[in-house]
Chain A
Amino acid sequence: DAKTTQPPSMDCAEGRAANLPCNHSTISGNEYVYWYRQIHSQGPQYIIHGLKNNETNEMASLIITEDRKSSTLILPHATLRDTAVYYCIVRVAREYGNKLVFGAGTILRVKS
């Protein structure tokens, strides 16, 4: 699986958009970009994933650059409950036993 690089931490004001970047310059053509988050002492929570088109769901939007070497997770209106560690993961989808390789992630602190 391709390696990802994320900033170690970010702050965001409550109610503003949180934009979390991720670099994955060695991504392969069949690898998807997945985002998870982990709130302290809980299990990771799936947020969104995409291959090359931008994706949106009820939680977030995922913007993938045309060359697919980087992406941005957007939380449109961050709340205090969005404070968590956010993980960007690149992996081949639909492959049994394909473990999730979590790096250090980005600690997002939403402040009032």
Chain B
Amino acid sequence: DGGITQSPKYLFRKEGQNVTLSCEQNLNHDAMYWYRQDPGQGLRLIYYSQIVNDFQKGDIAEGYSVSREKKESFPLTVTSAQKNPTAFYLCASSIGGTHQHFGDGTRLSIL
């Protein structure tokens, strides 16, 4: 079945450590997105990519980095510069700007 796979489901980070969240899709979608969700809140856009080797900052890109070397993959790195990284991270994809398909998320916590 086609879909979006995020891994791991739970991730723990030590202070000063970079961690990378994986997002893979087999839907053949061009566009991919990373959102952050805090408890009881809506989603906030971190980065998005319309096409391979191109990506744009969203509303809260500081402390995060991405790459888009393959159409299927859009990994997100949470760097040590992100001072409040504890959140639920959601990856999505779409054909152009149509409705977005989401993965089941990665929950990041700080040790």
A residues with CB within 8 A of B? 34, 41-46, 49, 87, 92-105
Known: A42-B105, A44-B90, A102-B43. A94 touches B98 (CB 8 A): yes
Closest-CB distance, B51 to chain A (whole angstroms): 9
B residues with CB within 8 A of A? 4, 6, 31, 33, 35, 40, 42-43, 45, 48, 50, 56, 58-59, 88, 90, 92, 96-105, 107
Closest 6 CB pairs of A and B: A43-B102, A102-B42, A99-B45, A95-B97, A94-B97, A46-B99
Known: A96-B50, A97-B48, A101-B42. A46 touches B100 (CB 8 A): yes
Chain A residues with CB below 8 A from B100, complex form: 46, 100
Q: B105 to A96, Cβ gap below 8 A?
A: no
A34 to B92, CA, bound (A): 16
Q: A43 to B97, Cβ gap below 8 A?
A: no
Chain B residues with CB below 8 A from A103, complex form: 42
Residue from the list A34, A43, A87, A98 in contact with B104, Cβ < 8 A: A43
A45 to B103, CA, bound (A): 9
Known: A99-B33, A99-B58. A46 touches B104 (CB 8 A): no
A98 to B45, CA, bound (A): 10
Chain B residues with CB below 8 A from A44, complex form: 43, 90, 102
Task: Report the nearest A residue to B44, measured CB to CB.
Answer: A99
